[in-house]
Amino acid sequence: MVEGKDDTIRLQQFFPGIETIETNGSAVSAQVLAQIKQLSQSREIIVFTDPDFNGERIRRIVTEAVPTAKQAFITRKEGEPDKAGSLGVEHASKEALERALSDLHEEKASSSDLTEADFRDLGLAGGAEARKLREAVGIKLGVGYGNAKTFYKRLQTFGISKEQLLAAIKVVKNAE
């Protein structure tokens, strides 16, 4: 599931035969949601939206309707256009698309042991460098970027443990 026809064109350029459903914008019609739900009964659904506000909104709407949908993420940098324009999947390189589609995430039945206090104490919320750290950790874990609330919820949803988060932060900070 992608946002628009340019995303479909880009994916088909590198993955002939790939099938997509396009939401055609951030509104996500009831008809499109019904189609995604129906297909989820017989097919794996992958949500692959742009790394921006509207992409996250669409991701949330579709995931609420189809909790079994897997999630693919590209980074903001990977979605930047060569020239001026909006950021998105349609601008990603073959390598970025392959990486995202090979590193799918899904909701875990078991919850994470990460608490909100841990999240704040690790510098992922409330501090001057929190945004930058969330972005780098999101890249390392392959779960995309989100504001503090969204990022924390995403870590919980995907069952990222405190230990996994600590390891990612350590790698990110050692790379600086």
The values of phi and psi at residue 138, to 5°, are -60, -40
Q: Write the Ramachandran bin of 60: left for phi over 0, alpha for psi from -120 to 50, otherwise beta.
A: alpha
Q: What domains appear along the chain, each with residue ranges and CATH number?
A: 1-107 (3.40.50.140), 108-176 (no CATH)
pLDDT reported for residue 70: 96
Give me Rg for the CA atoms of the chain.
Answer: 16
Question: Mind listing the pLDDT tens digit of every residue in the chain (176 residues)?
Answer: 999 999 999 999 999 999 999 998 788 999 999 999 999 999 999 999 999 989 999 999 999 999 999 999 999 899 998 787 788 999 999 999 999 999 999 887 667 899 999 999 999 999 889 999 999 999 999 998 889 999 999 999 899 999 999 999 999 998 87
